[in-house]
Amino acid sequence: MEYNPGWNSSSVNLLHVRAVGPGDSLHYVWSSIGAPAVLLVATQSPSSALRVNWTQLLSASPAGAIWIDPPDSVVYSTAVVFTKLFEFSEAKPSGELFYPTYDLSEFSWNSLKHTLNHTALTAELSGVPASDPGGSFSNGSLAFRVTAYEADGRAGRLPSLLHTADSSQLEFILAGVAPRGNSSRFALEVATVEEAGAARRLRSERSIDDEYTPTIFEVLSLVAEPRNGSSTLGFLQWKATAYGSRSPRREDGIRCRARGLQVANWSLPAASVVQAYFGDSLGSTCTVSALNVSFGGEEGEVYREKRYLSW
């Protein structure tokens, strides 16, 4: 786990997490330069290395600023970008009322350096809107907490997700942010980038109640598969629940729904690591898909009372 490799300033954030196997390696590159994003590159070499041209990465045209050495070791690459936070309320009888959107590419992010824990393999990216005229974030923040693992197991806290030494866990946290309505609910827009030959689909699996996450029957997976086969190339997986407490218990559960995955016909907001790695193919051969993950429901009051949401 390395922070801003080859760069001495902590005014921007780039976290490189490498998982090394006997004949291959995985590179996770998390960053808040532009919209917060993670790049995942799988290679057939245990000694493959991340290279960053920082001057180019921080310029107006970052294409080509990030690559893996040797280039021919790369077998698969993808990215996930967290683009927007929507706030809305169920306005009866007219439907949903949306407040002005929080664009995550226009947030100001704290330095990851202060939260990096090389022993626990965790780091937290926390930010607030660069402009907050309503003051909703004056006592709050939006954060992404990353955990890497060295072995198989289950997370100690609910929803007790399974992990392997190859996977990283991401926790999205909204804490102390003042809602702009009495029954506000939130939705996070998640975009994915796939190269030619691969496609994303949203898969839902229901299982009977288990001992690890009581009452939560659904697991959702945003799976990347080759267009001509069904083997899984990469995935983003979650239980259909969020929590309204820092120390979640079963009764703190908040319903979590995913609204259908759609090919995004809008341009991806500036996420520099994604543009730096995929370059010109981002606008031509790559497929950008997006979905909204919404939190709340009949229990939409939970956030207003607790001012805390964790997914």
Find the mean pLDDT for residues 195-216.
81
Q: Please check the confidence at residue 300 and state whether its pLDDT lies above 60.
A: no
Q: Please check the confidence at residue 5 and state whether its pLDDT lies above 60.
A: yes
Does this model's pTM top 0.85? My answer is yes
CB 225 within 8 A of CB 231: yes
User: Across all residues in the chain, what is the average pLDDT?
Assistant: 90
Q: Which residues of 164-198 are buried (b: 16+ CB within 10 A; e: fewer)?
A: eeebbbbbbbbbebebeeebbbbbbbbbbbbbeeb
pLDDT of residue 155: 83
Triad 213, 305, 220: Cα angle to 5°: 30
> What are the start-end ranges of the E strands in 64-183?
66-69, 74-91, 95-98, 102-103, 107-109, 122-129, 141-148, 153-154, 162-163, 168-175
User: Pick the residue with more confidence: 183 or 150?
Assistant: 150
Find the mean pLDDT for residues 2-27.
96
pLDDT of residue 291: 94
Find the mean pLDDT for residues 123-132.
96
Q: One-letter amino acid identity for 240?
A: A
